[in-house]
Amino acid sequence: MAAPTTQTPTTKPIAVVTGGASGIGLEITKLLLSRGYHVIIADLNSALGQEVSSSLPNTAFLHCDASSWPSLAAVFKTVFQTYGRIDFVAANAGISEAPPYVYGTRPKEGEAAVEDEEPLKPNTKVLEVNMIGVVYTVNLAAHYMRRNPVSSDHTEKGGKIIVTASAVGIHPMPAAPLYSTAKHGTVGLVRSLAPFLSAQDNISISAICPAVTDTPLMHDSFTQWPPTITTTMATVMRGYETLVSYAGVDGAGKVLEMHGDDVVERGLLDEKVAADWREGAFMFVNGGKSIW
């Protein structure tokens, strides 16, 4: 993979945004630029990514398939080798659910089921991009953030990861069950990794959970959704900036949901039980040796 194009070596903190060429990802890119980052836009759409990067200063573009470990690994390796550090990662790339659906085929109204009809294998690409791709992205982000140098400009190793999850990672979504499954998975990943990464590596991981937002992914159907389960891009970015603004690992494990004009932190229902689970994350086994 060729190195990203950049005019001069930069002392700016380095950010990687998957799916950064459009929708929420593009707004994340612009927000990070406004906060002084040099942003690498990692996107599957090369034409759009290059067009966006050429129009925004302090950005570079790398082609990336967020469902592919080799593709993501090459992006992160190239960025680290080019700039010497990775300070911020937005695990943002995502797709919508597509047929054949997990609930299978049903006979049309008034028609009898065909007894010898073969079942169709569900399309699981949405899981590969929206959940497995996030697992890959978070793994690679943590790997390189642990290797960030300490310098006069960046006094601590570590970094910040923000995952673009969804309100349907908190609530059920019968119309898109695998999409909802993927987003539930990413919320669980954030909450489960946060204690380890923050305590051991000075890495903060958190998530945004927007309701239905008017993006290229949802534009054609946006007006069909009830207003109570939609939100504006401005509200999404207000929540995102809240997570970006936390100092150090203060925002680790936070999950922010956006509905309408509201940004709400979604904690666990029983804090005592949640605390026990967090404590359990650091339990020792095998004669006093950590599970890590």
Residue of 37, 144, 179, 240 marked catalytic: 179
List of residues 6+ apart from 100 with CB closer than 8 A: 120, 121, 122, 123
Q: Does residue 179 have an active-site annotation? A: yes
Dig out the tokens for 50 from the structure. 């290059």
Reply yes or no on whether 272 is catalytic.
no
Could you say which of 37, 136, 144, 183 is catalytic? 183
Q: Give the strand order in the sheet containing 203-210.
A: 59-63, 38-43, 14-18, 88-91, 159-164, 203-210, 255-259, 262-265
The residue count of the chain comes to: 292
Active site residues: 179, 183
